[in-house]
Structure 1
Amino acid sequence: MLNLERLRILDAVARHGSVSGAADGLHVTTSAVSQQLAKLEREAGQPLLAKNGRGVRLTDAGRLLADHAARILSQVEIAQSDLEAQRGRVVGGLRISAFPTAARGLLPGVLAALRSAHPQLAVCSQELEGEDGVRGVVRGDLDVAVVLDWYNKPTAMPEGMAKRALFDDIADIAVPAGHPLAGASDVELEAFAQDEWITWPEGEFCREWLMFTLGGKGFEPRIAHVAGEHPTQMALIAAGLGVGVAPRLGRGPIPDGVRVVTVRDALRRHVYAIWRADADRRPSIRAAVDALYAAGAGREGAPGDAGPEGAPEGTGLGGATG
């Protein structure tokens, strides 16, 4: 008889690509993972892992069993969701992440509302970039993630995910107070073609979006300074060292020496919640997504009462469409 917890470990190895990655994801030691995999190999009667340089790879039998394990664990998740739905109480634990400006400008109020409405729900939150949040939900390390994409650069979503649109966040251009366009409004992006830019580190989704967007306007931005933290970007702009993108969500007070300029064709970030479709009926996830939606309802760019979207057919809170 194959052991369910050992199948869970094999599934983690397949998803993370290594024994150490699986151990980190499951919050156990690499030794514990190796021991359980050795026992699973004895249960299966054939090798499931093979050495691959300094790491390991799944054998054909290992890949076959890992595929079955993923389906079995998905069914277990659905069963647990159905049991929780039948009980109807928002209790237990919930793990949620949000990208940095949402972690600052959205999540605190949502977490406070959940604590007030559902005191028996223990919520653990963390700040993660959107792509890391997606990976966390896929791996099962997170229950819900608040993620984003841009109006002209959507993010690919893995299979088996459900999502709900929360609101659109508008971004302005932040310029030094002495910039020629500091007092302007409704400005075309092309007006900043000769400026130096302060932006996110290379490889981050928002940095890639900026390069893609400005390239589409016919110019390549001159990146003068790079900073991952928004306050650092603002400080550099205040010092007169360049211009940058300033999303409104979580922005806080504009520092002295900085002005924000509205772009004629608004730069919009789509903000939405994602979760695994096989956990769709869990009351804790329903409560969290509803709280996120309510928090975004009063914002400019909120989707109104359209309800959840983008979930696989037959799933999604409140009845999503495909």
Structure 2
Amino acid sequence: MLNLERLRTLDALARHGSVSGAADGLHVTTSAVSQQMSKLEREVGQQLLAKNGRGVRLTDAGRLLADHAAKILSQVEVARSDIEAQRGQVVGEVRLAAFPTAARGLFPAALTSLRAGHPELRLRTAELEPESGIRAVLRGDADLAVVLDWSNKRLPVPAGLVKAELLDDAPDIAMPAGHALAGRREVDIEDFAEDDWVSWPEGEFCYDWLMFTLRSKGIEPRIAHLAGEHHTQLALVAAGFGVCVAPRLGRGPVPGGVSLVPVRQPMRRHVHAVWRADADRRPSIRAAVEALRAAGRALPADSRGPVTAGTPL
């Protein structure tokens, strides 16, 4: 009989493409992965891995068994969901991921609520950018990810995932206090056509959104500085090195010398949770979504927009 944990190791190898990636995803050592694969090869009587330079690759038999392993593990997840749903108890473990400002703005309140209401539920969290969060859920490395898109640029959600809206986040434009537009009640993003911008790093979804948005206004962006942390972006703005988009969720204290002005045109970050469809009936997943929604509702009214229509629970 095939061992489920060894099939899980093979599945992780197929998804991550390396022993080290599989070890990280499974939270075990690389030697543990190698040992599990050696035992699985003895069980099936075939070579499943072959050397590939400094790494390994799956043999034809390995790919065939990995395809079956993915189906078996998905069915196990469905069975677990059904059992949890029948018991109606929020137990076990939930692994949550979120992009940094959502982790900062939602996790403390949501986790506190879950710990108080469901003491038998184990919680693990990680900060991941939206695309990485979605990949982690698809790979099975996270049970639920908090991700985002923008009102004018959506983040594709792959088939096999369920999505639920949490809140809309209303961003401002951050500029040096001495900027000519600092005293305005509202601004348009195209008002900053001649300004240097402080942006998220290239390749991130929000960087792509900023480039898309400015170019849609006929502006070729002048991206002067790249910083992943919003606090770093605001520090650069305070020092007079440009302007940036400053979402309100998880923003925290704003340094002196920075002026925040709302954007006149509707511009929202849509924040939502995603999880695998085969885990949809798990009470723990639904409890986590409700806790995240409650954390969003508890934010000050001026730090968020209305929640858009989404998947009901």
SS at match of 1:106: helix
* d(CA) in 2 for partners of 1:167, 1:215: 27
Identity value in percent: 70
Where structure 2 has 5 or more consecutive residues not aligned to the other structure, the ranges are: none
Which one-letter code corresponds to 2:101 in the other structure?
T
SS at match of 2:171: strand
1:187 maps to what in 2? 187
* d(CA) in 1 for partners of 2:227, 2:310: 36
* d(CA) in 2 for partners of 1:307, 1:176: 37
SS at match of 2:264: coil
1:302 maps to what in 2? 306
SS at match of 1:254: coil
1:3 aligns with 2:3: yes
- Compute the displacement of 1:158 (Å): 2.6
What does the per-residue CA deviation read over 1:53-109, in whole Å, with 9 as the maximum and x for residues that have no partner?
Answer: 222222222112111110100111111111111111112222112111111112111
* d(CA) in 1 for partners of 2:20, 2:177: 50
Equivalent residues of 1:234, 1:255 under 8 A apart: yes
What does the per-residue CA deviation read over 1:189-230, in whole Å, with 9 as the maximum and x for residues that have no partner?
Answer: 211010011112222221121112111111222122222221
- Compute the displacement of 1:307 (Å): 5.1
Which one-letter code corresponds to 1:181 in the other structure?
L
**Count of equivalent residues:** 309
Runs in 1 of length 4+ with deviation above 6 angstroms? none
Give TM-score, length-normalised by structure 2. Answer: 0.93
191-200 vs 112-121, greater mean Cα deviation:
112-121
- Compute the displacement of 1:266 (Å): 2.4
What does the per-residue CA deviation read over 1:168-205, in whole Å, with 9 as the maximum and x for residues that have no partner?
Answer: 11111111111011111332221101001111222222
2:48 maps to what in 1? 48
- Compute the displacement of 1:16 (Å): 0.4
Equivalent residues of 1:97, 1:126 under 8 A apart: yes
1:168 maps to what in 2? 168
What does the per-residue CA deviation read over 1:283-321, in whole Å, with 9 as the maximum and x for residues that have no partner?
Answer: 1111101111223346543336x451xxxxxxxx63xxx
Equivalent residues in 2 for 1:242-261 (5 A)?
242-261=242-261
* d(CA) in 1 for partners of 2:310, 2:14: 34
Equivalent residues of 1:173, 1:260 under 8 A apart: yes
Equivalent residues of 2:163, 2:310 under 8 A apart: no
- Compute the displacement of 1:31 (Å): 2.0
Equivalent residues in 2 for 1:197-236 (5 A)?
197-236=197-236
What does the per-residue CA deviation read over 1:115-152, in whole Å, with 9 as the maximum and x for residues that have no partner?
Answer: 22212222122222222221221222211111111222
Which one-letter code corresponds to 1:215 in the other structure?
R
Equivalent residues in 2 for 1:1-322 (5 A)?
1-297=1-297, 300-303=304-307, 306=309, 308=311, 318=313
Q: CA RMSD in A?
A: 1.7
Equivalent residues of 1:171, 1:266 under 8 A apart: no
